[in-house]
Chains A and B, each alone.
Chain A
């Protein structure tokens, strides 16, 4: 790499920091706030050795908790529980920050044609990419320091707090490198994010399986490396070297790829497409299916893999319980079978929340089409407004139902096979379907928002998803009034298979869905299009 290839990097870094002067601090604050909230909360709840022992007993038996959190180590101290509970979430936040920051300043600029203008000035070939990586790296550093600081300020041991922060930042660095490579592979930013997101998903899954089985699989995952520092207990720094080495290697690969492609091109260059439209592209619904097909298939694939993996962990739930006398003493009424049912109910509601996230992004696709001006040529043809909106809503509703069915079937199939109880397939598969009305209710909120408040639609719809996640995952630990949690459609849904399915709950949700759709379509039919 000659030095001129980096000409102008400093200026571009300052410019990128100027563009991200709101975004980056928000990411950092979100990461630090998660740690601060967990630190304060855990210290308040587990204030006695008995409470801590009880926590250790229950969490030690919960494959679901381990799957979503990390290795159950260091749970003898309150600080250890903080690291256990929050590290996975905050590492995902750091990875997403790294992905969006790196992608935004590399491929997104290039796709929009801004890099061409920049590169026509006295700026080296590598400078835009390296500047994007530097800015993302600075974000990771800031998040690491902020987490260390808030951890120390809320009373956690200082060295452990900064080690936790460093682990989070190191995880972000790896995904900076992953995004830098992905941005070279494809011509589109969307695809680059798709590749990075897939790597993140696989990394999370590998460590989840590794942590539950206690296997070496965690060493195949960058999140596994970052969590292997075991803050507040073993306090190991060396696993971070793996992260830094991987980030450096990925950056080298990205720069190498950059040297072998034209500006604006991907390594996978676009092939000529169809000169004429196939039979699908003949109706608004055909267009919506075409636009959302790739995303739906990617979601379906991910959820089927996730469902199968979580289904295969049923046995681990059982053995974790049997091997833990403390847990058996703490939960005298509990049986292994009951724990597995509870675990599956958690899995089904997590899958349903993910399906709801797809449904919302799919409904919001309609609004994206509108604000990008792409709906105008379509509505200038013999296509009515309601037919056009209905096309995207149909994809959202049927697509999210398909996701619930596919992941539920994968979980039920693998569980039935591994338990040898083939009769359980139908029961478990049926149980997963009980969550469909709640998914549709969240999609319905998005439809109503697109009709009523188009500008705020994305904020409203995603806030509703975030709220449903908080209610489903954290509510048991929060001292909320009941009505606050009851606003989530998941609160109306029985936790099948632990609880049984009821008609009134499903009917109530169906009425809510119908009302939300009526509001959304009614408002969309009457308002101006927000174009241009």
Chain B
């Protein structure tokens, strides 16, 4: 598998602000890659560098085996982009904007355009002036999805969509992946990333803090266990890899390092397990783990997930 996007050590500063501080990102051809981070962490800046709109200060950036700054025009024929905040020309209709962007990219499929307009429930005869945020977003999505391109770069593409449209969007992304195309999906809607992404990269302050598949990430962290036993459990605190043991309402709750799960379960069966719930960490918990200190500074309780 070759890399559709390969970024290493990317640095971009705006005056005194270091927006990207040695960011790494590798997106394999054919995968849906989640690009996660809160507002201001550098997602959009990275995407603008990938599109050749901003010039990197240092670091290596390859996009579809080209240089995004030098080969911008040739590369852009092979990709489609949906910005996070879509601004359109007030006096131009949605249908016209879709056609314009499609033609500038090298043409779009009229049948697919019609289908997308139908599925996304978008009126193409309205001038952009009267579109809501969600409808402007749909214009950019239809233009991107109706193009026959190898790579989709989507910057928070669903931030203005309702849940019904979100479902339509997810269906199309699965279709895109099935067709073997690559998607870079920047998002802070973690449920969306969890539902769609093969692999994710979590970034913070312009730097990649974790990257990999969700399974890999979960393996590196702890599982939450809630158990009810016939007899009181003893000796749990002494086991390696067990953290934050607490008893409440006759149930015992604790976290366990994922690679110690087997030992802990063997220990528990001795006490007569009546019911057991095991929850792998959600992406949200994985994500918050990297931002726990910031939340703590703001006085927000940090989820009970230890640091690796």
Contact = CB atoms under 8 A, between A and B. Distances in A.
**Do the two chains belong together in a single complex?**
yes
B85 interface: yes
Interface in A232-254: none
B104 A273 contact: no
Interface string B67-101: 00000111011011101011111111101111111
Listed residue (A378, A379, A383) with the most chain B CB atoms within 10 angstroms of its CB: A379
A351 to B, nearest CB: 28
B55 interface: yes
A532 B96 contact: no
Contacts of A277: 95-100, 103
A382 B77 contact: yes
B129 interface: yes
A380 B100 contact: no
Given A381-B76, A528-B53, A529-B54, A290 B87 contact: no
B87 A378 contact: no
Contacts of B77: 382
A292 to B, nearest CB: 11
Interface string A511-532: 0000000000000001111011
Interface stretch (A39-47, A124-132, A369-377): A369-377
B126 A383 contact: no
Contacts of B55: 526-528
Contact of A384 (B72, B86, B125): B72
A383 B73 contact: yes
B124 A275 contact: yes
A38 interface: no
Nearest to A276: B95
A9 interface: no
A188 interface: yes
A451 B241 CA distance: 60
A270 B127 contact: yes
B105 interface: yes
A378 B126 CA distance: 20
A527 to B, nearest CB: 8
Interface residues of A, number: 39
Contacts of B100: 277, 281-282, 286-287
Contact of B130 (A270, A527, A532): A270
Contacts of B125: 272-275
B96 A274 contact: yes
B180 interface: no
A329 to B, nearest CB: 58
Contact of B53 (A272, A283, A531): A531
Given A529-B54, A531-B53, A377 B96 contact: no
Interface in A275-330: 275-278, 281-284, 286-287, 290-291, 294
Contact of B54 (A284, A374, A382, A528): A528
10 contacts: A270-B129, A273-B125, A274-B96, A276-B96, A281-B96, A282-B100, A380-B53, A383-B104, A384-B73, A385-B72
Given A273-B92, A274-B96, A277-B103, 15 more contacts: A270-B127, A272-B93, A273-B93, A273-B126, A277-B95, A277-B98, A281-B92, A281-B99, A282-B103, A373-B83, A373-B85, A380-B76, A381-B104, A382-B76, A528-B53
